[in-house]
Structure 1
Amino acid sequence: MTMPEQATSVVPVTPIAVTGTTQREKIKCITDKLEEGVRAIFASDEYREYLDFLSKFHDYSYNNVILIKMQLPTASLVAGYGDWLKKHHRYVRKGEKAIRILAPTPYKKKKEMDVIDEHGNTSKEEVEVLVPCFKIVNVFDVSQTEGEPLPSLGVDELDGTVEQFDAFMDALKAVSPAPIGYEDIPGNSHGYYDHVERRIAIQEGMPQLQTLKTGIHEVAHAVLHAWPEDGKKPKDGPDRHTREVQAESVAYTVCQHYGLETSDYSFAYIAGWSSGRDVKELKESLCVIRQTAHDLIAAIDAALGVTQ
């Protein structure tokens, strides 16, 4: 199966205006825009749109997911000019504007530091440290290119349905850090993760889509919020509301990636959850959600034998 030729995007790229003369000033300009983007996601109805976007770009950092979305909301597959040409035999059309993202470019630097020996004596020693650094790079969406057709993505094999329900559930059970079982759960709960017994329970008899979504939600809890092995609830860590936001966001993102529609779930409570929290805390949750969704998608793909 091949991917059809992409038409020119109806929404043109709106590159982020980068001001400044030094690399540091240019990077600061980009990161300032990122802060605005983070707040905008939580302060409006953009959160679901962000998760939809994340489901397509789960292997990018959350910073770059936001940057791509800000510049081209219709983007679906991006690569650098050279990669489009060499790897995919496609050409970026003349006049297309680049999408600007950040690429890590760490470098090594020698630094004098205090070193304590086995006797407790302190001395100065020159050590080599890795200094984090970034640069601005240009990428283009597939809708800005033309050339050889692309092979279909492996996730299309699920056809956006639950026809492979058994295979998907087997894959989810294989990647889950806790055993998954079915039972009749009192009340209105669809499922739960038992921190003490370290197991996941799903309400039996539910529709397949609800079962899958619930399973992914509880696996996210097991990955992110498991108690220590002594079975005692940790004193620190995210509050209950934050834990639910993280697990629900991961479940929605993973389902969207596989074409499993769960849009009947409302994210209206996100605005209330994010109110009063600083940008650093909001970024941390976005990072946790992105990394967990990425890891689960990669693991499920491997269990299903899906190749990208």
Structure 2
Amino acid sequence: MSDLTLKYIADLDAGVRDLFASDRWRSYLEFLAKFHRYSANNTIAIYLQRPTASLVASFSDWRRKGRKVKKGEHGIKILAPHVIKDTDDDTGEIKQRLGFHIAYCFDVSQTDGADLPEGPARQLTGSVDGYAHIWDTLLAVSPVPVSIEPITGSDANGYYSHSDQRIVVRDGLAELQRVKTAIHEIAHALLHAKGAEEADADRSTREVQAESVAYVVCRALGLDTSDYSFGYVAGWSADKELKALKASLDCIVRTSDRILKAFEPSDDNGSGQETSAA
């Protein structure tokens, strides 16, 4: 299976590179370039307060971009730098040093207004042959409970909660998007839980790993998620030129194989029927 997995990863790499060269991708990157780049510490702070955040800016920045923060929304706390001037009492010399104060930013899901340009990932549509079996098998292989629920205050299709140890998939998704999202979040639970092998990876690397696993597993199950996965991986790889994908090959292969083994016929019974494995 590993050789086939590597072939799918090569397809993913090629698809993402094609997207990087497209006019749609360049347009999207030009839009993102207008947003403030946050430090590593602030990126972590944003993730801890709002794990589903996708695009954040200050109150005034959103107004300049033609969008307004919705009434009643609470800002995400970050640290903003400012200059502190100290005057030497003896010489009168003024020295400057860097200080920090609490500031607030807001995710795009907390705003209303002008339409944003099309993002790099397109929502998947369509039904899935054998959906019930695939879904039941994913529930069995997941290390944490998976539920389908409404998700408010975010555009995310799903999320894995470290604190609650559960996965939530958005209610109302098409079967193909639901399956893809569940595999993505299961990959997070397997790879990025506390104490897991990739728990310390940065956020962009974690997202590339999880979506790569989702693409590989879906391909192996005969499901095409390229319209979504290529753009998703590109979105998180833009600053790294796919280095995160290439550096993560081993864990992507192993995690994909671990999930796919749940779809193999059981060796314990002679029926030849497929069974779920945890």
Give the TM-score taking structure 1 as reference length.
Answer: 0.42
Give the TM-score taking structure 2 as reference length.
Answer: 0.47
